[in-house]
Amino acid sequence: MDRKSPLGTILLIASLIAGISYIASWQLALPAAASTAWKGAGVALLALYAAVRAQGPGGWMLCAVMVFGALGDILLETHGLNVGAVAFLVGHLVAIGLYLRYRRANLPKGDAIFAVLLVPATVAIAFLLPSDRAMAPGVALYSTGLALMAACAWICRFPRAMTGLGALMFVVSDLLIFARGGPLAGQAWVGYGVWILYYFGQVLIALGGVRGLSSERRL
């Protein structure tokens, strides 16, 4: 579809409304199905936004990243942490393929070092956070995919202030989830931090991907 179609803008605005207002829904006594649908709507609308803006395989890969993100949001509520994490992990793997497809040719040494160190640092922190040590290996496995996704986002040609930053926000959001089962247990602010970092991270990833792919097609 034409990049200039207003439908994309409408979908993006609708996503922002859904994603921001979801926090307000926490104070409402909603049925579980309604709360879950509200939660999934923000990133699901980002998937539709990416689909409307898609122009080629990269665009559809970005759309798939958002689809698995929305699926993860829903499955976390309906089937628990492990099943939801699998959906997110699939999305991370698709994102890794997308970012490597558009990796920078001449990467500055500092950026390369940051990307390399990001992976073991994220995995180590994630492994140490859960109080239930039986969860630690699974958390580390998932975090490996998460960290690789963020590292690849950092070295791709998409706008770093969008895609790179959004991926790092996603990492911090998930680390807060793991910390909520450990040193930050019972802290009320953590839930807000998790959602704000996650949702706006996804927004930046979607915007950066759309802009980056559009620039690639003009080259």
How much is the pLDDT for 219? 56
Which of 8-12, 153-157, 166-170, 186-190 has the lowest average pLDDT? 186-190
Using the predicted structure, report yes or no on whether residue 5 has a pLDDT greater than 80.
no
CA atoms within 13 A of residue 39's CA, in its CB half-sphere: 20
Give 31-49 pLDDT, tens digit per residue: 999 999 999 999 999 999 9
The pLDDT assigned to 47 comes to: 98
From residue 35, how far is each of 57, 107, 189 by CA, in Å? Answer: 33, 43, 19
In sequence order, the β-bridge partners of residue 156 are 103
DSSP assignment letter at 175 = H
Distance CA 40, CA 26 (A): 14
Q: What one-character-per-residue DSSP string does 89-105 give?
A: HHHHHHHHHHHHHTB-S
Residue type at 13 in one-letter notation: I
Structure tokens at 179: 């910390």
Using pLDDT thresholds of 50, 70 and 90, give the confidence band for residue 55.
confident
The pTM for the full model equals 0.95
The residue assigned the tokens 């993006």 is: 12
Q: Which amino acid, 103?
A: R
Per-residue pLDDT at 3 exceeds 60: no
The percent of residues in the chain predicted with pLDDT above 70, rounded, is 97
163-187 average pLDDT score:
96
For tokens 């704000």, what's the residue? Answer: 196
- Evaluate if residue 106 carries a pLDDT over 80: yes
Determine the pLDDT at residue 29: 87
Local confidence band at 4 (pLDDT 50, 70, 90 cut-offs)? low
Cα separation, 98 vs 205, whole angstroms: 12
Structure-block tokens of residue 145: 């995919």
> Quick one: how many helices (H) and strands (E) in the chain?
8, 0
The set of residues, in sequence order, having a beta carbon less than 8 Å from that of 180 and lying 6+ positions away, is 187, 190, 191, 194
pLDDT of residue 203: 98
pLDDT (average), residues 195-211: 98
Closest residue by Cα to residue 74 from 109, 122, 39, 45: 39
pLDDT of 95 above 70: yes
Q: What pLDDT, on a 0 to 100 scale, did the predictor assign at position 194?
A: 97
pLDDT at residue 216, rounded to an integer: 85
> Dihedral (C-alpha) 61, 97, 153, 103: value to the nearest 10 degrees?
-110
φ, ψ (nearest 5 deg) of residue 103: -70, 155
Q: Are 129 and 178 in contact (CB under 8 A)?
A: yes
- Mean pLDDT estimate for the chain: 95
Instruction: Tell whether the model's pLDDT for residue 2 goes beyond 80.
Output: no
